[in-house]
Chain A
Amino acid sequence: MSALIVLLGAPIAGGLLLAFFGHRGAAGLINIAVAALSFAAGLGLALEVFAKGPLLSGGRLFYVDAFNVYLLLLTSFVGLTTALFSRRYMAYERTRGRVGPKSLRLYHSMYQGFLFAMLLALSSNNLGVLWVAMEFATLSTVLLVSLYRTPEAVEAGWKYFILCGVGIAQALFGTVLLYFTGHRVLPDGQDALLWSELYGMATQLDPTVILLAFVFIVVGYGTKIGLVPLHNWLPDAHSEGPTPMSAVLSGLLLNVALYAVVRVKMLMDPGHSSQLAGHIMMGFGLISFLVAGLFIHRQRDIKRMFSYSSIEHMGLMTFAFGLGGPLATFGALLHMTVHSLTKSALFVATGHAAQIAGTQSMDKIRGLIRTQPAVGWSLLLGTLAIAGLPPFGVFVSEFLLLTATMQQQPIFTVALLLGLVIAFAGLFRHLHPMVYGEAPAGQRPIAVNTLPISLHLLLVLCLGIAIPPVLTQWFNQATWLITGQRLL
């Protein structure tokens, strides 16, 4: 319990503190310290849950089990490493004059606010609070997307605000419907949105109402996952905002939205024999996966390209969770982890690359490996990892997902393989000249912090070679929670 208080309290306190001191030189360090505190608490919480099983606390307001505890840990970890990156990055942006003291205060404060929203959404037992936290995550990042105040940035921010706002309103309608049906089986209104209570009664929930609720929730949170055709905001928001923001949006926000959908699916499955929820998710997932892969080819902006790659991977995960079954779910959980680690590392590398070249346009970024080998290699290795090449962890999870698809719905294997090849070709077509091409005259290396990148890629590499037994056990437990079966 105390770990949970620190986990959620640290970002609130940090956010308030940075609202006043966010422009000072030490702000980057404070940001790191707060994120580190939060991560330490996350680690403590994970150990506690691992030893004692699911934790229900705070008047049943918080519920932490194997499924969300690893996402909590992942979120606080990526929050910490991105804070490490953000310190140098924002300092450089300030010397370039792209941000002023006011913007820096806003940035640092809202960075913590966003982390708080993510952690609250993950640990909340109340589906209504989960919604509130998701909406707050949008609100806290919307001004960060438009932080640079260029016409493009303002447009991206507005689009993000409106589209996610409309999307998430659908999710609230779904939540109201859930409450409506929950109220019929749980007489005390206070209980009817608590996930732990609803889960116990899942077979008694009215199937038609919950189906309706699920559809609204998929569309609503699906907007935040970036499922095609609701994905329009995502590439804009990722490309126009400051890069640390892109890293946490891609690495964390999308995961949390998918987490919310899976939680509701868990409520729906017991009462429906037909796997309808799964089929809806498979459809959305597969379309997103294929369309995003094609869109990678025609991008010109490096951050846009990687954000389409995020849509592609989120599509794959949505498909896998929809497929159901222990193997696919295990693979999807692993994929969530490795994607979020790899993608945030990639955005860090991209941020450095864009600062070296002074532009995000891929036609103008050239010869990174000559100018600054560390950045060139990070970008190259990160892209290799995200494209699913062995020995990185993404390969393992994609392999598991393909195997599961072959077992359960062999027909889709072709589509998946095709999509993977398309995305692979798209990424490398753009990457090759950026890394190896002739460096423009006068291109100079900059001060970088490669620790976040190497740490993330090392972890992904380890996960690709051998998953530690502790983690396997976690994933296994989470798989059991979601599907009712164990994989191992």
Chain B
Amino acid sequence: MLTDLSIDQQAVLTLAALVLFTTFAMLAQRSLLTLIQVFAWQGTLLALTTALVAQSSGQHHLYFSALLTLSLKAFFIPWLLRRLVVRLDIVRDVEPVMHTTVVMFIAAALVVFSYYIVLPVEALAVQLTRNTIAVGLSVVLLGMLIMISRRKAVTQVIGFMTMENGLFFTAVAATYGMPMIVELGIAFDVLVAAVLFGVFFFHIRSSIESLDVDRLNRLSEEERR
């Protein structure tokens, strides 16, 4: 049971719960700036988890990934997003969250679903790993839900980055991170993606004079023109 786990492992579980909680918070958050702030907190939690796992497992390269995560996901990307929001002059934008209750129910169902999927892994893994993989998968799926349920380009990007956080969390908590070269590669890709998203905001804005991706609807299989 839970008491069989060491203090470190219990702490990892607590952090897992907090990461999941921040994801739910993002799902319901309307104001863009607060959303970015919650996202930054999630990044901090990830870095903390990584450092904790590094300490308890003795995998010292994880300290480096913790530092990388902290600088990238807790500082750089939120800073970049906030700057873009200011420059695009959408600070005061409040995005209506449609059908909040329904979205929350779906979110809860997704978490249950993740646990259901991960159950077969039980045979070979300790309780800790099963929980962390399930939470990681939930965060990935909830990130997807954020992207589906929201209409603003900025929110979609945050959903996208949340999915990435979920993946990173799974990798750290279940397998003590990935080999260094892969982690560096992933961090590089995330960085490039963040910058490209910024470029895209301006392109979208200049083409449809709004950042409502709902209005990107010229290309479809319906009869056109």
**CB < 8 Å: which of A157, A193, A300 contacts B179?**
A193
Interface string of B187-225 (1 = CB under 8 A from A): 011001100110110011011100001001111010010
What chain A residues lie within 8 Å of B136 (beta carbons)?
A: 173
* Residue pair B176, A180 in contact (C-beta under 8 Å): no
* Residue pair A152, B200 in contact (C-beta under 8 Å): no
- Going nearest first, the 8 A-B pairs with the smallest beta carbon separation are A128-B182, A132-B185, A155-B216, A151-B207, A208-B120, A154-B207, A135-B189, A236-B219
Within 8 A of B (CB), among A284-307: 295, 298, 300
What are 9 A-B residue pairs whose CB atoms fall within 8 Å in the complex? A128-B186, A129-B181, A149-B206, A151-B208, A152-B219, A162-B147, A193-B178, A209-B120, A298-B221
**A126 and B219 contact, Cβ closer than 8 Å, known pairs A132-B189, A173-B140, A180-B174:** no
Q: Report the minimal beta-carbon distance from A412 to chain B, rounded to whole angstroms.
A: 26
* Residue pair B181, A209 in contact (C-beta under 8 Å): no
* Residue pair A157, B200 in contact (C-beta under 8 Å): yes
* Residue pair B207, A212 in contact (C-beta under 8 Å): no
B123 at the interface (CB under 8 A from A): yes
B110 at the interface (CB under 8 A from A): no
Within 8 A of B (CB), among A139-192: 139, 142-143, 146, 149-152, 154-159, 161-162, 165-166, 169-170, 172-173, 176-177, 179-180, 183-184, 189-190, 192
Q: Report the minimal beta-carbon distance from B142 to chain A, rounded to whole angstroms.
A: 12
What chain A residues lie within 8 Å of B182 (beta carbons)?
A: 126, 128-129, 131-132, 193
**Further pairs besides A128-B178, A169-B143: 7, Cβ < 8 Å:** A131-B182, A139-B196, A155-B217, A169-B167, A192-B179, A239-B219, A240-B219
Nearest residue in B to A127 (C-beta to C-beta)? Answer: B182
Interface string of B105-141 (1 = CB under 8 A from A): 0000000000001001101100001000100110010
**CB < 8 Å: which of B160, B174, B221 contacts A162?**
B160
**A172 and B203 contact, Cβ closer than 8 Å, known pairs A126-B182, A193-B178:** no
Count contacts on B: residues with CB < 8 A to the other chain.
Answer: 50
Question: Which residues in A have some Cβ–Cβ distance to B below 8 Å?
Answer: 61, 126, 128-129, 131-132, 135-136, 139, 142-143, 146, 149-152, 154-159, 161-162, 165-166, 169-170, 172-173, 176-177, 179-180, 183-184, 189-190, 192-193, 206, 208-209, 212, 236, 239-240, 295, 298, 300
**CB < 8 Å: which of B140, B203, B208 contacts A169?**
B140
B44 at the interface (CB under 8 A from A): no
* Residue pair B160, A208 in contact (C-beta under 8 Å): no
